[in-house]
Structure 1
Amino acid sequence: MTTPESSVASHPAALWPQTLVGAGVLLTGMALAFGAIDISSEAGYGGVGPNFLPWLVSIVLMLCGGWILWEARTGGFRELDAPTGADRGNWPGFVWVSAGLLLNAALITSLGFILSCTLCYVMAVQGLRRASGQPGVNAPRTWAIDAVTGVLIATPVFWTFTKFLAINLPGLTSTGWL
């Protein structure tokens, strides 16, 4: 446990990033509230209107942003541990994860939700494994396990959205099951 005097966060140079984070959270809450003004407040089936959740989230964000700002401007985040991890970011791992996300967005309408999300999962896990220095990342067995795991995660999500929630997601076939 550190005291505010010995904390890295109590240094004046460390207070500006904390202040910017608080201001960003506060402004995000305000922007969401501004957008919620145009949403209908007519009560629905559950007794609340469609604007209830946006207003709730915006109020919570504004409260959190104000609290973060107060903390930052009154001495910084207290009990802040020293940073851990590598000195620099792992760019190859970042590229793997980013490529997975971008390929998912680009291929979701042609491959379908399940296969594109599986590809995204496989590439993200590969990037994280490479960044942590795990051995055997190029082994076919590792790739196969990642692919099966991706399918096992994406399939129930797809079925939940399409079958139970009646939200249309891009599928590979017109049956709605793949």
Structure 2
Amino acid sequence: MSKGHAPSTEKRRPDRAALFIAVFLAALGGLIFWDTSRLAGAGGYSGVGPATIPFVIASGLLLLAAWTVFEALRGDFPVRERQEVGPVIWIIGGLAAQMLLLKPLGFSIATGLLFAATAAGFGKRKLWFTIPIGIAICLGVWLIFAGLLQLSLPAGPLEHLFW
């Protein structure tokens, strides 16, 4: 008997987390179908238009939702490990900090802090090391996107030193 699976003789209950995921997938697929229905007349003579790919994606999501319900009711999902909350909080905190600091501090510093928080979530807790590395990498990304590709990314004090 493997460690991650329930014994085959024991009847498992439906997986409520999988059913919740199936409802989310179905709702997302339905939302895409509804939004795509407004574009249906734009196909032209070929029948392929801006609604084609969203229709395929929505169909795929509904198919995945049905499959997830089927598997959840059968109880075939392996037993999941306990979720570690600490890394999730680091990453969500980094995303929140990036959203709050993007406009006042610019892309490089805000996204560099997100990089460091994500690294901390994955176990690299030397913030004195990961923050400067993250800011340097993000400054390079900003220079490529804003300088070479002429895309508009939020500029802060660090970016104003270069551009």
Give yes or no for TM over 0.5: yes
Gaps in structure 1 of 5+ consecutive residues: none
- Offset of 1:40 from its aligned partner? 7.2
| Bigger helix fraction | 2
1:109: which partner in 2?
103
Mark the CA change 1:171 to 1:57 in structure 2 (over 3 Å): closer, same or farther: farther
2: CA distance, partners of 1:20 / 1:98: 21
Q: SS of the counterpart of 1:151? A: helix
Counterparts of 1:24-39 in structure 2, within 5 Å, are 24-39=24-39
Superposed CA RMSD: 3.7
* Worse-matched range after superposition: 20-29 or 101-110: 20-29
Match of 1:59 in 2: 59
4+ aligned runs moved over 6 Å, structure 1: none
Given the superposition, is the C-alpha separation of residues 49 and 166 from structure 1 closer, same or farther in structure 2, using an over 3 Å criterion?
A: farther
C-alpha contact (below 8 Å) 1:25/1:64 kept by paired residues? yes
Q: d(CA) in 1 for partners of 2:11 and 2:40?
A: 45
Alignment correspondent of 2:7: 6
Cα deviation digits, residues 117-153 of structure 1 (max 9, x gap)? 0011112322432xxxx7xx3xxxx334312431354
Q: Look up the equivalent residue of 1:19 and give its one-letter code.
A: L
| In structure 2, C-alpha distance between the alignment counterparts of 1:120 and 1:100, rounded to whole Å | 4
What amino acid maps onto 1:143 in structure 2?
A: L
- TM-score after normalising by structure 2: 0.70
Pairwise mapping of residues 72-91 of structure 1 onto structure 2 (< 5 A)? 72-73=72-73, 75-77=74-76, 80=78, 82-84=79-81, 87=82, 89-91=84-86
- The answer for the alignment partner of 2:135 in structure 1 is 151
The gaps in structure 2 that reach 5 residues or longer are none
Counterpart contact for 1:111–1:171, Cα < 8 Å? yes
Q: How many residues align?
A: 157
Q: CA deviation at 1:110?
A: 1.3
Q: Quick one: which amino acid aligns to residue 76 of structure 2? A: F
8 Å contact from structure 1 (residues 41, 52) kept in 2: no
* 1:71-91 per-position Cα deviation (integer Å, ceiling 9, x unaligned): 223x1235x2x433xx56434
> TM-score with structure 1 length normalisation?
0.65
Determine if contact 2:142/2:153 at 8 Å carries over to the other structure. yes
SS in 1 for 2:122: helix
- Tell me, yes or no, if the aligned pair for 1:18 and 1:76 is still in contact at 8 Å: no
Residues 89/5 of structure 1: CA separation in 2 closer, same or farther (3 Å cut):
closer
CA contact 1:97–1:128 (8 Å) conserved in 2:
no
Distance 1:5 1:119, change over 3 A: closer
Name the residue aligned to 1:20.
Answer: 20
Q: Is the 8 A contact 1:41 1:50 kept in 2?
A: no
Structure 2 contact 112–135 (Cα < 8 Å) conserved: yes
The 2-side partners of 1:51 and 1:161 are apart by: 30
Matching residue's letter, 1:76: G
